[in-house]
Protein backbone atom coordinates (compact mmCIF):
# COMPACT_ATOMS: atom_id res chain seq x y z
CA UNK A 1 0.00 0.00 0.00
CA UNK A 2 1.54 3.31 -1.08
CA UNK A 3 -0.15 6.30 0.50
CA UNK A 4 0.83 9.57 2.16
CA UNK A 5 0.35 11.23 5.56
CA UNK A 6 -2.06 14.06 6.10
CA UNK A 7 -2.94 16.19 9.09
CA UNK A 8 -5.87 18.48 8.48
CA UNK A 9 -7.31 21.67 9.93
CA UNK A 10 -10.53 23.20 8.57
CA UNK A 11 -11.90 26.74 9.04
CA UNK A 12 -14.49 28.86 7.21
CA UNK A 13 -15.35 27.55 3.71
CA UNK A 14 -13.30 24.39 4.01
CA UNK A 15 -9.97 26.12 4.76
CA UNK A 16 -7.41 23.36 5.36
CA UNK A 17 -3.86 23.32 6.63
CA UNK A 18 -1.76 20.18 6.95
CA UNK A 19 1.59 19.50 8.59
CA UNK A 20 4.35 16.96 8.04
CA UNK A 21 5.96 15.98 4.77
CA UNK A 22 4.23 13.23 2.77
CA UNK A 23 5.21 9.70 3.74
CA UNK A 24 3.72 6.24 4.02
CA UNK A 25 0.93 5.17 6.40
CA UNK A 26 -1.22 8.29 6.24
CA UNK A 27 -4.27 9.57 8.14
CA UNK A 28 -2.84 10.53 11.52
CA UNK A 29 -5.06 13.47 12.44
CA UNK A 30 -4.44 16.49 14.64
CA UNK A 31 -5.46 20.15 14.93
CA UNK A 32 -2.51 22.53 14.43
CA UNK A 33 -4.53 25.40 15.91
CA UNK A 34 -1.52 27.67 16.25
CA UNK A 35 -1.33 28.03 12.45
CA UNK A 36 -3.14 30.62 10.33
CA UNK A 37 -3.23 31.24 6.59
CA UNK A 38 -0.97 34.24 7.17
CA UNK A 39 1.87 32.46 8.99
CA UNK A 40 1.68 28.89 7.75
CA UNK A 41 2.77 28.90 4.10
CA UNK A 42 6.46 29.63 4.58
CA UNK A 43 8.28 26.29 4.24
CA UNK A 44 8.56 23.49 1.66
CA UNK A 45 6.85 21.14 4.14
CA UNK A 46 3.86 23.47 4.18
CA UNK A 47 3.60 23.32 0.40
CA UNK A 48 3.72 19.52 0.50
CA UNK A 49 1.06 19.31 3.19
CA UNK A 50 -1.20 21.81 1.46
CA UNK A 51 -1.28 19.61 -1.63
CA UNK A 52 -1.70 16.44 0.40
CA UNK A 53 -4.90 17.98 1.78
CA UNK A 54 -6.42 18.09 -1.70
CA UNK A 55 -6.22 14.31 -2.07
CA UNK A 56 -8.31 13.68 1.03
CA UNK A 57 -11.66 14.25 -0.65
CA UNK A 58 -11.00 11.61 -3.30
CA UNK A 59 -12.04 9.17 -0.59
CA UNK A 60 -15.20 10.84 0.62
CA UNK A 61 -17.69 9.47 -1.92
CA UNK A 62 -16.18 5.99 -2.03
CA UNK A 63 -15.97 3.21 0.49
CA UNK A 64 -19.28 2.64 2.23
CA UNK A 65 -21.16 1.92 5.43
CA UNK A 66 -24.55 0.61 6.51
CA UNK A 67 -26.07 3.90 5.35
CA UNK A 68 -24.74 3.54 1.80
CA UNK A 69 -22.14 5.44 -0.21
CA UNK A 70 -22.31 8.41 -2.58
CA UNK A 71 -20.66 6.53 -5.45
CA UNK A 72 -23.80 4.40 -5.69
CA UNK A 73 -25.69 7.43 -7.06
CA UNK A 74 -24.47 7.08 -10.64
CA UNK A 75 -24.51 3.29 -10.52
CA UNK A 76 -28.23 3.09 -9.81
CA UNK A 77 -28.99 5.91 -12.24
CA UNK A 78 -27.43 3.76 -14.99
CA UNK A 79 -30.15 1.11 -14.68
CA UNK A 80 -27.61 -1.68 -14.14
CA UNK A 81 -28.01 -2.16 -10.41
CA UNK A 82 -30.22 -4.07 -8.01
CA UNK A 83 -30.18 -3.40 -4.28
CA UNK A 84 -31.15 -4.74 -0.91
CA UNK A 85 -32.05 -1.29 0.42
CA UNK A 86 -32.02 -1.59 4.18
CA UNK A 87 -32.92 1.08 6.75
CA UNK A 88 -30.95 4.26 6.15
CA UNK A 89 -29.86 3.07 2.69
CA UNK A 90 -33.30 3.66 1.16
CA UNK A 91 -31.63 6.33 -0.98
CA UNK A 92 -30.46 3.51 -3.22
CA UNK A 93 -34.04 2.70 -4.17
CA UNK A 94 -34.86 6.31 -4.99
CA UNK A 95 -32.00 6.46 -7.48
CA UNK A 96 -32.74 3.01 -8.89
CA UNK A 97 -36.36 4.02 -9.47
CA UNK A 98 -35.43 7.50 -10.79
CA UNK A 99 -37.36 9.12 -7.92
CA UNK A 100 -34.49 11.11 -6.38
CA UNK A 101 -34.89 14.75 -5.39
CA UNK A 102 -32.67 17.67 -4.24
CA UNK A 103 -32.65 16.40 -0.64
CA UNK A 104 -30.75 13.19 -1.39
CA UNK A 105 -27.54 12.87 0.67
CA UNK A 106 -25.47 11.36 -2.15
CA UNK A 107 -25.62 14.48 -4.31
CA UNK A 108 -24.78 16.59 -1.26
CA UNK A 109 -21.78 14.37 -0.54
CA UNK A 110 -20.44 14.87 -4.07
CA UNK A 111 -21.02 18.62 -3.91
CA UNK A 112 -19.54 19.17 -0.44
CA UNK A 113 -16.51 16.92 -0.82
CA UNK A 114 -15.61 18.22 -4.28
CA UNK A 115 -15.90 21.88 -3.35
CA UNK A 116 -13.87 21.19 -0.21
CA UNK A 117 -11.18 19.65 -2.44
CA UNK A 118 -11.41 22.66 -4.78
CA UNK A 119 -11.06 25.05 -1.81
CA UNK A 120 -7.91 23.24 -0.71
CA UNK A 121 -6.56 23.34 -4.27
CA UNK A 122 -7.24 27.06 -4.53
CA UNK A 123 -5.29 27.70 -1.32
CA UNK A 124 -2.34 25.64 -2.58
CA UNK A 125 -2.33 27.31 -5.99
CA UNK A 126 -2.41 30.77 -4.38
CA UNK A 127 0.10 30.23 -1.56
CA UNK A 128 2.77 27.86 -2.90
CA UNK A 129 4.28 30.22 -5.53
CA UNK A 130 5.50 32.56 -2.76
CA UNK A 131 7.28 29.83 -0.77
CA UNK A 132 11.07 29.69 -1.12
CA UNK A 133 11.81 26.10 -2.11
CA UNK A 134 13.16 23.89 -4.87
CA UNK A 135 11.51 25.14 -8.07
CA UNK A 136 11.16 21.67 -9.54
CA UNK A 137 9.28 20.39 -6.50
CA UNK A 138 7.21 23.58 -6.39
CA UNK A 139 6.10 23.12 -10.00
CA UNK A 140 5.27 19.45 -9.44
CA UNK A 141 3.14 20.25 -6.41
CA UNK A 142 1.32 22.97 -8.29
CA UNK A 143 0.76 20.49 -11.12
CA UNK A 144 -0.81 18.02 -8.68
CA UNK A 145 -3.05 20.78 -7.29
CA UNK A 146 -4.26 21.80 -10.73
CA UNK A 147 -4.96 18.21 -11.76
CA UNK A 148 -7.00 17.59 -8.65
CA UNK A 149 -8.95 20.84 -9.04
CA UNK A 150 -9.68 19.85 -12.64
CA UNK A 151 -10.77 16.37 -11.55
CA UNK A 152 -13.21 17.72 -8.97
CA UNK A 153 -14.68 20.24 -11.41
CA UNK A 154 -14.94 17.58 -14.11
CA UNK A 155 -17.17 15.47 -11.88
CA UNK A 156 -19.24 18.46 -10.76
CA UNK A 157 -19.95 19.84 -14.23
CA UNK A 158 -20.98 16.43 -15.55
CA UNK A 159 -23.19 15.67 -12.56
CA UNK A 160 -24.83 19.07 -12.04
CA UNK A 161 -24.26 21.08 -15.24
CA UNK A 162 -23.64 24.76 -14.58
CA UNK A 163 -21.83 25.05 -11.24
CA UNK A 164 -20.09 27.87 -9.36
CA UNK A 165 -16.57 28.38 -10.71
CA UNK A 166 -14.41 29.33 -7.74
CA UNK A 167 -10.73 29.88 -8.48
CA UNK A 168 -9.50 31.67 -5.35
CA UNK A 169 -9.84 31.08 -1.60
CA UNK A 170 -13.18 32.32 -0.26
CA UNK A 171 -14.09 33.60 3.20
CA UNK A 172 -17.05 35.37 4.75
CA UNK A 173 -15.96 38.71 3.32
CA UNK A 174 -15.35 37.54 -0.24
CA UNK A 175 -17.32 39.02 -3.13
CA UNK A 176 -17.77 35.46 -4.39
CA UNK A 177 -19.16 34.11 -1.11
CA UNK A 178 -22.53 33.41 -2.80
CA UNK A 179 -21.40 32.56 -6.32
CA UNK A 180 -23.51 32.26 -9.43
CA UNK A 181 -23.52 29.14 -11.58
CA UNK A 182 -21.00 29.42 -14.41
CA UNK A 183 -21.71 28.40 -18.02
CA UNK A 184 -20.73 24.79 -18.71
CA UNK A 185 -18.21 25.82 -21.36
CA UNK A 186 -16.42 28.09 -18.86
CA UNK A 187 -16.05 25.20 -16.43
CA UNK A 188 -14.61 22.98 -19.16
CA UNK A 189 -12.18 25.68 -20.23
CA UNK A 190 -10.87 25.85 -16.66
CA UNK A 191 -10.55 22.06 -16.55
CA UNK A 192 -8.57 21.98 -19.79
CA UNK A 193 -6.39 24.90 -18.73
CA UNK A 194 -5.56 23.27 -15.39
CA UNK A 195 -4.70 19.96 -17.03
CA UNK A 196 -2.57 21.60 -19.70
CA UNK A 197 -0.67 23.46 -17.00
CA UNK A 198 -0.23 20.25 -15.01
CA UNK A 199 1.07 18.56 -18.15
CA UNK A 200 4.06 20.93 -18.19
CA UNK A 201 4.76 20.75 -14.45
CA UNK A 202 7.53 18.15 -14.61
CA UNK A 203 5.50 15.33 -13.08
CA UNK A 204 6.87 11.77 -13.32
CA UNK A 205 5.04 9.63 -15.86
CA UNK A 206 3.95 7.12 -13.22
CA UNK A 207 3.73 7.20 -9.42
CA UNK A 208 3.92 4.04 -7.35
CA UNK A 209 3.04 6.26 -4.34
CA UNK A 210 -0.36 7.03 -5.84
CA UNK A 211 0.29 10.72 -6.48
CA UNK A 212 -0.73 12.55 -9.63
CA UNK A 213 1.47 11.57 -12.56
CA UNK A 214 1.91 12.80 -16.12
CA UNK A 215 0.19 9.64 -17.31
CA UNK A 216 -2.82 10.48 -15.15
CA UNK A 217 -2.90 14.06 -16.47
CA UNK A 218 -2.82 12.98 -20.12
CA UNK A 219 -5.36 10.21 -19.55
CA UNK A 220 -7.82 12.56 -17.86
CA UNK A 221 -7.30 15.19 -20.54
CA UNK A 222 -8.12 12.61 -23.23
CA UNK A 223 -11.33 11.75 -21.39
CA UNK A 224 -12.25 15.43 -21.01
CA UNK A 225 -11.76 16.02 -24.72
CA UNK A 226 -13.90 12.97 -25.51
CA UNK A 227 -16.70 14.34 -23.35
CA UNK A 228 -16.40 17.81 -24.87
CA UNK A 229 -16.81 16.25 -28.30
CA UNK A 230 -20.18 14.90 -27.19
CA UNK A 231 -23.02 16.32 -25.13
CA UNK A 232 -23.69 18.88 -23.84
CA UNK A 233 -21.04 20.94 -25.69
CA UNK A 234 -21.15 18.93 -28.94
CA UNK A 235 -17.78 20.21 -30.17
CA UNK A 236 -17.44 17.25 -32.52
CA UNK A 237 -14.54 16.23 -34.74
CA UNK A 238 -11.96 18.74 -33.50
CA UNK A 239 -12.31 17.42 -29.96
CA UNK A 240 -12.45 13.78 -31.02
CA UNK A 241 -9.11 14.51 -32.66
CA UNK A 242 -7.74 16.01 -29.46
CA UNK A 243 -9.00 13.02 -27.48
CA UNK A 244 -7.47 10.56 -29.94
CA UNK A 245 -4.10 12.30 -29.98
CA UNK A 246 -3.87 12.64 -26.21
CA UNK A 247 -4.89 9.02 -25.62
CA UNK A 248 -2.28 7.93 -28.15
CA UNK A 249 0.39 9.79 -26.19
CA UNK A 250 -0.45 7.59 -23.21
CA UNK A 251 -0.41 4.44 -25.34
CA UNK A 252 2.84 5.37 -27.08
CA UNK A 253 4.57 6.20 -23.79
CA UNK A 254 4.49 2.44 -23.12
CA UNK A 255 4.45 3.03 -19.37
CA UNK A 256 1.08 1.37 -18.75
CA UNK A 257 -0.38 -1.92 -19.95
CA UNK A 258 -3.38 -4.17 -19.46
CA UNK A 259 -3.02 -6.74 -16.71
CA UNK A 260 -3.02 -10.26 -18.09
CA UNK A 261 -5.50 -11.38 -15.46
CA UNK A 262 -8.51 -9.61 -13.98
CA UNK A 263 -7.29 -10.85 -10.61
CA UNK A 264 -4.66 -8.10 -10.71
CA UNK A 265 -7.41 -5.48 -10.60
CA UNK A 266 -8.08 -6.47 -6.99
CA UNK A 267 -4.56 -7.15 -5.71
CA UNK A 268 -2.69 -4.81 -3.40
CA UNK A 269 0.58 -5.67 -5.09
CA UNK A 270 -0.69 -4.30 -8.41
CA UNK A 271 -1.83 -0.90 -7.14
CA UNK A 272 -0.60 2.36 -8.71
CA UNK A 273 1.14 0.58 -11.59
CA UNK A 274 0.51 -1.44 -14.73
CA UNK A 275 -3.12 -0.91 -15.72
CA UNK A 276 -3.81 1.37 -12.76
CA UNK A 277 -3.01 4.93 -13.84
CA UNK A 278 -4.62 6.81 -10.94
CA UNK A 279 -6.34 5.51 -7.82
CA UNK A 280 -7.93 6.65 -4.59
CA UNK A 281 -5.64 5.47 -1.79
CA UNK A 282 -7.01 3.43 1.12
CA UNK A 283 -5.52 1.65 4.12
CA UNK A 284 -7.26 -1.07 6.14
CA UNK A 285 -5.46 0.04 9.32
CA UNK A 286 -7.17 3.43 9.57
CA UNK A 287 -10.74 4.65 9.78
CA UNK A 288 -10.93 5.69 6.14
CA UNK A 289 -10.57 2.18 4.78
CA UNK A 290 -12.23 0.88 1.64
CA UNK A 291 -15.82 -0.03 2.51
CA UNK A 292 -16.64 -1.86 -0.70
CA UNK A 293 -16.80 -5.21 1.05
CA UNK A 294 -19.68 -4.02 3.24
CA UNK A 295 -21.52 -2.56 0.26
CA UNK A 296 -21.11 -5.43 -2.19
CA UNK A 297 -21.24 -8.66 -0.17
CA UNK A 298 -24.68 -10.32 -0.42
CA UNK A 299 -27.04 -9.55 2.43
CA UNK A 300 -27.48 -12.45 4.86
CA UNK A 301 -24.92 -14.60 3.05
CA UNK A 302 -22.64 -15.97 5.82
CA UNK A 303 -19.40 -15.70 3.83
CA UNK A 304 -17.75 -13.00 5.96
CA UNK A 305 -16.87 -12.34 9.56
CA UNK A 306 -19.17 -9.32 9.54
CA UNK A 307 -22.49 -8.76 7.83
CA UNK A 308 -22.62 -7.57 4.24
CA UNK A 309 -25.40 -5.31 3.06
CA UNK A 310 -25.87 -6.27 -0.60
CA UNK A 311 -26.47 -2.63 -1.51
CA UNK A 312 -25.41 -3.05 -5.13
CA UNK A 313 -25.53 -6.09 -7.36
CA UNK A 314 -26.06 -6.37 -11.12
CA UNK A 315 -29.36 -6.84 -12.87
CA UNK A 316 -29.23 -10.34 -14.32
CA UNK A 317 -29.92 -9.02 -17.83
CA UNK A 318 -26.63 -7.13 -17.77
CA UNK A 319 -24.60 -10.20 -16.85
CA UNK A 320 -26.39 -12.14 -19.56
CA UNK A 321 -25.61 -9.42 -22.13
CA UNK A 322 -21.93 -10.43 -22.32
CA UNK A 323 -20.97 -12.44 -25.39
CA UNK A 324 -20.75 -16.21 -25.05
CA UNK A 325 -17.29 -17.10 -23.82
CA UNK A 326 -16.52 -13.65 -22.42
CA UNK A 327 -14.12 -14.29 -19.54
CA UNK A 328 -15.43 -11.26 -17.63
CA UNK A 329 -18.78 -12.98 -17.14
CA UNK A 330 -17.22 -16.20 -15.83
CA UNK A 331 -17.38 -17.08 -12.15
CA UNK A 332 -15.07 -14.98 -9.94
CA UNK A 333 -13.98 -12.66 -12.71
CA UNK A 334 -16.28 -9.61 -12.69
CA UNK A 335 -19.11 -11.48 -10.94
CA UNK A 336 -19.67 -14.41 -8.62
CA UNK A 337 -22.65 -16.49 -7.53
CA UNK A 338 -21.19 -18.46 -4.62
CA UNK A 339 -18.49 -18.40 -1.96
CA UNK A 340 -17.28 -20.51 0.93
CA UNK A 341 -18.99 -20.04 4.29
CA UNK A 342 -17.06 -18.05 6.91
CA UNK A 343 -17.39 -20.92 9.38
CA UNK A 344 -16.27 -23.58 6.91
CA UNK A 345 -14.77 -22.53 3.56
CA UNK A 346 -15.45 -25.97 2.12
CA UNK A 347 -19.18 -25.31 2.52
CA UNK A 348 -20.27 -23.37 -0.57
CA UNK A 349 -22.97 -20.73 -0.17
CA UNK A 350 -25.07 -20.18 -3.29
CA UNK A 351 -26.43 -16.64 -3.61
CA UNK A 352 -29.17 -17.26 -6.15
CA UNK A 353 -28.05 -14.26 -8.22
CA UNK A 354 -24.75 -12.80 -9.49
CA UNK A 355 -22.94 -10.28 -7.29
CA UNK A 356 -19.98 -8.03 -8.07
CA UNK A 357 -16.60 -9.72 -7.68
CA UNK A 358 -14.64 -7.11 -9.66
CA UNK A 359 -13.42 -5.34 -6.49
CA UNK A 360 -13.67 -8.26 -4.06
CA UNK A 361 -10.85 -8.49 -1.53
CA UNK A 362 -10.35 -12.19 -0.74
CA UNK A 363 -7.72 -11.49 1.90
CA UNK A 364 -9.97 -9.06 3.75
CA UNK A 365 -12.92 -11.40 3.50
CA UNK A 366 -11.17 -14.23 5.31
CA UNK A 367 -9.32 -12.06 7.85
CA UNK A 368 -11.85 -9.52 9.07
CA UNK A 369 -13.58 -7.94 6.08
CA UNK A 370 -11.71 -4.63 6.41
CA UNK A 371 -10.21 -3.87 3.01
CA UNK A 372 -7.38 -1.51 2.21
CA UNK A 373 -7.56 -1.96 -1.55
CA UNK A 374 -7.34 1.24 -3.57
CA UNK A 375 -10.21 2.35 -5.78
CA UNK A 376 -9.32 2.77 -9.51
CA UNK A 377 -10.16 6.18 -10.99
CA UNK A 378 -8.34 5.82 -14.32
CA UNK A 379 -7.37 2.51 -15.92
CA UNK A 380 -5.38 1.89 -19.08
CA UNK A 381 -8.33 -0.11 -20.43
CA UNK A 382 -10.34 3.10 -20.50
CA UNK A 383 -7.56 4.93 -22.36
CA UNK A 384 -7.55 2.24 -25.06
CA UNK A 385 -11.32 2.52 -25.45
CA UNK A 386 -11.10 6.31 -25.59
CA UNK A 387 -8.53 6.03 -28.36
CA UNK A 388 -10.60 3.51 -30.32
CA UNK A 389 -13.77 5.60 -30.08
CA UNK A 390 -12.10 8.89 -30.98
CA UNK A 391 -10.06 7.43 -33.85
CA UNK A 392 -13.20 5.91 -35.33
CA UNK A 393 -15.02 9.25 -35.15
CA UNK A 394 -12.14 11.01 -36.93
CA UNK A 395 -10.96 8.43 -39.46
CA UNK A 396 -13.29 5.46 -39.28
CA UNK A 397 -12.31 2.00 -38.01
CA UNK A 398 -8.60 2.11 -38.82
CA UNK A 399 -6.10 -0.63 -38.03
CA UNK A 400 -5.00 1.29 -34.92
CA UNK A 401 -8.60 1.65 -33.74
CA UNK A 402 -9.10 -2.12 -34.11
CA UNK A 403 -5.81 -2.77 -32.33
CA UNK A 404 -6.90 -0.75 -29.29
CA UNK A 405 -10.37 -2.29 -29.14
CA UNK A 406 -9.18 -5.84 -29.73
CA UNK A 407 -6.70 -5.64 -26.86
CA UNK A 408 -9.68 -5.37 -24.53
CA UNK A 409 -11.46 -8.22 -26.29
CA UNK A 410 -8.40 -10.47 -26.37
CA UNK A 411 -8.04 -10.36 -22.59
CA UNK A 412 -11.75 -11.22 -22.36
CA UNK A 413 -11.09 -14.30 -24.53
CA UNK A 414 -13.16 -12.86 -27.38
CA UNK A 415 -12.41 -12.98 -31.10
CA UNK A 416 -10.95 -9.92 -32.80
CA UNK A 417 -13.41 -7.68 -34.59
CA UNK A 418 -12.83 -6.66 -38.20
CA UNK A 419 -14.66 -5.39 -41.26
CA UNK A 420 -17.17 -3.22 -39.39
CA UNK A 421 -18.75 -0.03 -40.65
CA UNK A 422 -18.06 3.20 -38.77
CA UNK A 423 -21.50 2.92 -37.15
CA UNK A 424 -21.08 -0.69 -36.07
CA UNK A 425 -17.55 -0.07 -34.80
CA UNK A 426 -18.88 2.87 -32.78
CA UNK A 427 -21.41 0.66 -31.02
CA UNK A 428 -18.82 -2.09 -30.56
CA UNK A 429 -16.63 0.34 -28.63
CA UNK A 430 -19.55 1.58 -26.56
CA UNK A 431 -20.51 -2.01 -25.77
CA UNK A 432 -16.98 -2.73 -24.55
CA UNK A 433 -17.11 0.37 -22.37
CA UNK A 434 -20.31 -0.91 -20.74
CA UNK A 435 -18.87 -4.40 -20.21
CA UNK A 436 -15.30 -3.45 -19.26
CA UNK A 437 -15.87 -0.34 -17.12
CA UNK A 438 -19.04 -1.43 -15.33
CA UNK A 439 -19.53 -0.59 -11.65
CA UNK A 440 -16.63 1.86 -11.44
CA UNK A 441 -18.50 5.15 -11.88
CA UNK A 442 -18.11 5.37 -15.65
CA UNK A 443 -21.35 4.14 -17.24
CA UNK A 444 -23.72 6.96 -16.29
CA UNK A 445 -21.19 9.53 -17.52
CA UNK A 446 -21.06 7.71 -20.87
CA UNK A 447 -24.85 7.76 -21.01
CA UNK A 448 -24.91 11.52 -20.43
CA UNK A 449 -22.22 12.41 -23.00
CA UNK A 450 -23.55 10.06 -25.67
CA UNK A 451 -27.25 10.54 -24.96
CA UNK A 452 -27.37 6.78 -25.53
CA UNK A 453 -28.11 3.79 -23.31
CA UNK A 454 -27.24 0.15 -23.87
CA UNK A 455 -30.38 -1.90 -24.38
CA UNK A 456 -29.76 -5.10 -22.42
CA UNK A 457 -32.35 -7.02 -24.41
CA UNK A 458 -31.43 -6.04 -27.97
CA UNK A 459 -27.69 -5.43 -27.57
CA UNK A 460 -28.07 -2.13 -29.43
CA UNK A 461 -28.18 1.46 -28.15
CA UNK A 462 -31.33 3.45 -27.47
CA UNK A 463 -31.76 7.20 -27.19
CA UNK A 464 -31.30 8.30 -23.58
CA UNK A 465 -34.66 10.03 -23.35
CA UNK A 466 -37.31 7.34 -23.50
CA UNK A 467 -35.06 4.38 -22.69
CA UNK A 468 -36.76 1.99 -20.30
CA UNK A 469 -34.72 0.13 -17.70
CA UNK A 470 -35.34 -3.62 -17.65
CA UNK A 471 -37.08 -3.29 -14.29
CA UNK A 472 -39.49 -0.54 -15.37
CA UNK A 473 -38.48 3.15 -14.94
CA UNK A 474 -38.07 5.27 -18.08
CA UNK A 475 -35.42 7.95 -18.51
CA UNK A 476 -36.46 11.53 -19.25
CA UNK A 477 -34.42 14.67 -19.97
CA UNK A 478 -34.51 15.40 -16.22
CA UNK A 479 -32.09 12.55 -15.53
CA UNK A 480 -29.39 14.05 -17.76
CA UNK A 481 -28.32 15.97 -14.65
CA UNK A 482 -28.66 15.47 -10.92
CA UNK A 483 -30.35 18.09 -8.72
CA UNK A 484 -28.36 20.83 -7.01
CA UNK A 485 -28.50 19.92 -3.28
CA UNK A 486 -31.41 21.68 -1.59
CA UNK A 487 -29.16 22.82 1.26
CA UNK A 488 -27.03 24.75 -1.25
CA UNK A 489 -30.09 26.39 -2.82
CA UNK A 490 -31.26 27.51 0.64
CA UNK A 491 -27.85 28.85 1.65
CA UNK A 492 -27.04 30.64 -1.61
CA UNK A 493 -29.73 32.90 -3.06
CA UNK A 494 -27.79 33.06 -6.34
CA UNK A 495 -28.10 29.34 -7.08
CA UNK A 496 -30.85 28.03 -9.35
CA UNK A 497 -32.13 24.46 -9.60
CA UNK A 498 -31.84 22.10 -12.56
CA UNK A 499 -34.91 21.53 -14.70
CA UNK A 500 -37.39 19.00 -13.37
CA UNK A 501 -36.38 19.23 -9.71
pLDDT per residue as tens digits for the range 156-168: 999 999 999 999 9
207/30: higher pLDDT: 207
pLDDT per residue as tens digits for the range 294-303: 888 999 899 9
pLDDT of res. 368: 66
384 within a domain of the structure (yes/no):
no
In whole angstroms, give the CA distance from residue 268 to residue 465: 40
Task: Assess contact for 109 and 157: CB atoms under 8 A.
Answer: no
109 within a domain of the structure (yes/no):
yes
pLDDT per residue as tens digits for the range 351-378: 999 999 999 998 888 776 678 899 999 9
Q: State the DSSP H helix or E strand holding residue 228, giving kind and residue range, or none if neither.
A: helix 214-229
- 64 plus 193 within the same structural domain: yes
pLDDT per residue as tens digits for the range 398-447: 999 999 999 999 999 999 999 999 999 999 999 999 999 999 999 999 99
CATH code of the domain covering residue 146: 1.25.40.390
Phi, psi of 280 (to 5 degrees): -80, 130
219 within a domain of the structure (yes/no):
no
- 176 plus 71 within the same structural domain: yes
- 67 plus 190 within the same structural domain: yes
- 197 plus 328 within the same structural domain: no
Mean pLDDT of 176-189: 95
Mean pLDDT of 470-479: 98
pLDDT of res. 320: 98
- 188 plus 312 within the same structural domain: no
pLDDT per residue as tens digits for the range 199-214: 999 999 999 999 999 9
404 within a domain of the structure (yes/no):
no
Q: What is the pTM of this model?
A: 0.92
281 within a domain of the structure (yes/no):
no
488 within a domain of the structure (yes/no):
yes
Q: What percent of the chain has pLDDT over 70?
A: 89
147 within a domain of the structure (yes/no):
yes
Give yes or no for residue 21 having a pLDDT over 80: no
Q: What percent of the chain has pLDDT over 90?
A: 79
- 83 plus 188 within the same structural domain: yes
- State the angle between helix axes of 184-199 and 135-160 in degrees (0 to 180), rounded to the nearest 10: 150
- 196 plus 299 within the same structural domain: no
pLDDT of res. 88: 64
Count of structural domains within the chain: 2
Domain boundary among 347, 371, 395: 371
DSSP 222-290: HHHHHHHHSTTT--THHHHHHHHHHHHHHHHHT-----SSGGGGG-GGGTTSTTEEEEE---TTSSS-B
Domain boundary among 371, 405, 426: 371
- 77 plus 185 within the same structural domain: yes
Which domain does 312 fall in, by range? Answer: 291-371
Domain boundary among 371, 389, 423: 371
64 within a domain of the structure (yes/no):
yes
Amino acid sequence: MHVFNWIIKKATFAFALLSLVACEDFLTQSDPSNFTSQNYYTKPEHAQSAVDAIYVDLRQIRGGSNSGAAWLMTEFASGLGNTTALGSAQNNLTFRNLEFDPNNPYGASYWNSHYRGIANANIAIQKIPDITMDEGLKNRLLGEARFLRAYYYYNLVRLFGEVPLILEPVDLGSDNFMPLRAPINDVYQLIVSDLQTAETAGLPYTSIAGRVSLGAVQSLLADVYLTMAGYPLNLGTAYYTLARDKAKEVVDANMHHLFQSYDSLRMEGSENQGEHIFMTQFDQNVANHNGLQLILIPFNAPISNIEGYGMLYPVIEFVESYEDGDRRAEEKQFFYTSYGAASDRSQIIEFGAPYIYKWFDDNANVSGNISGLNWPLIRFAEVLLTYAEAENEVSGPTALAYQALNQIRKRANLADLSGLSTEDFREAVWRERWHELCYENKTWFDMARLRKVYNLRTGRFDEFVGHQFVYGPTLSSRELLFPIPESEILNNKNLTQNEGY
